[in-house]
Amino acid sequence: MVLPIDPIEVIPATPHIGAEIRNYKMSAPMTQTQFALIHEALMNHQVLFFHDQQMSLTQHKEFARRFGALHIHPGIPGPEGHPEVIAIHTDENSTRIAGEDWHSDVTCDGEPPMGSLLHMHEVPKSGGDTLFASMYAAYDALSKPLQTLLGGLTALHSGEMAYRGRYQHRGVDDREMTYPDNDHPVIRTHPVTQRKALFVNRIFTARINGVTEAESAALLQFLFAHIEKPEFQVRFRWYPGSVAFWDNRAVQHYAIWDYFPQRRSGFRVTVAGDRPY
């Protein structure tokens, strides 16, 4: 007798952002139907959460590859044999952590990543949650005159500002390295949903182009505070085996470091993206 397979469930977490995916094993090969469902859920909810996932780095990369080519980080070396993987690790010796401020991943690249998949292996007893914020909701909440003004502007995203000296603790000597700096629109259009999203962030955006320093600083200060409104957010509690898959074109995230000196450990695989417009 063939037992019926439970259908994949998509359970929205908030009206604006986030959904949990149930009844899906990421380690198994993905059918075209499953891909279409998960892709549609990502487009609708911007960040997807999975629990109880056991998968190797190779399986993690295979899942991510269904959504596009894998991205290699310009500053962080991957574990042996896996240059596309970033170890996310914090313990009692850590002096900083990855993602400890609002950002979308690697926006200093000319073609910033489309998405990121973080698989958590070890979590603190409590704490270590990650916040995700919808940049669609942040854009939609702006007044029409401000949407129009920002829609005509670009901003400089600086790898130099974000990364210089940043990975010494991972054994990276970056004196001979250069990091990417690129201009991107302040408001980007999502290439699949065609929705508009705010695209400046605290870690990478150095200045808004074509306005004075003072105007740039004031606009950025306003926008950085605006995107942090709880109404645009979902907060994710991790367990060993949890995965978050977020769309960097529509979401910013913030890793909360409230659990020192406990350990938190996982691996991130990042999917390449295209030039924002």
Told to check if 130 binds ligand SIN by CB under 6 A, we report yes
Q: Point out the residues that are catalytic.
A: 103, 105, 253, 268
> Per-residue string for binding with ligand SIN, 6-45, x by CB under 6 A?
----------------------------------------
Task: Give 88 or 227: the residue with its C-beta nearer to ligand SIN.
Answer: 88
C-alpha count within 13 angstroms, C-beta hemisphere, residue 42? 23
Told to check if 200 binds ligand SIN by CB under 6 A, we report no
Positive or negative, the CA dihedral 74, 114, 78, 264 is positive
How many residues of this chain bind ligand SIN (CB under 6 A)? 9
Least Å from the CB of residue 147 to ligand SIN: 27
270 with 70: CB under 8 angstroms? yes
> Per-residue string for binding with ligand SIN, 56-95, x by CB under 6 A?
--------------------------------x-------
134 with 266: CB under 8 angstroms? no
Least Å from the CB of residue 267 to ligand SIN: 10
Degrees, nearest 5: CA angle 111-244-192: 45
Task: Give 129 or 140: the residue with its C-beta nearer to ligand SIN.
Answer: 129
Told to check if 98 binds ligand SIN by CB under 6 A, we report yes
Per DSSP (E only), the strands in the chain are 9-12, 19-22, 47-50, 85-90, 115-122, 130-134, 154-158, 181-185, 187-189, 196-198, 205-208, 233-236, 243-247, 251-255, 264-271
3-state secondary structure of 5: coil
Least Å from the CB of residue 266 to ligand SIN: 7
Binding site for ligand SIN (CB under 6 A): 88, 98-99, 116, 118, 130, 253, 255, 268
